[in-house]
Amino acid sequence: MITKEMSIREVVEKFPQTVPVFMSFGMGCLGCAAARFENIEQGASAHGIDVDKLVDELNNRIGKGTGGCGCCN
C-alpha cells in the first residue's frame, strides 16, 4: 500500500505503473532532484494537489495490476 509519507522515487521504483497517475496530476518531474527527497505529501503540496486523492489513485493503480489488493507487487 502506498502512503503519503513514502518518497516519490520509492513509489516509482517499486510501482512503475504509477507514473501515469503522477503525470495525470501534473507531477511530471519524477526525475528531478526534489523527487528523490520529497515524499508524496510534500510533492503534492508543492503542486497544489489533493494528496489524499492522489494516494487513492496511486493505490487504485497498483491494485489493478494484480487483480487484487495490490499488496503483492
| Residue 64 CB-density burial (10 A; 0-12 exposed, 13-18 middle, 19+ buried) | exposed
DSSP letters spanning 10-28: HHHHH-GGGHHHHHHTT--
- The whole-number pLDDT of residue 65 equals 39
**pLDDT tens-digit map of 18-69:** 999 999 999 987 777 777 788 999 999 989 999 999 999 999 999 953 344 4
- The whole-number pLDDT of residue 64 equals 53
CB 62 within 8 A of CB 70: yes
Domains located in the chain, CATH noted: 8-66 (1.10.3910.10)
pTM for the full predicted model: 0.81
- The whole-number pLDDT of residue 33 equals 75
Q: How confident is the model at residue 72 (pLDDT cuts 50, 70, 90)?
A: very low
3 pLDDT above the threshold of 70? yes
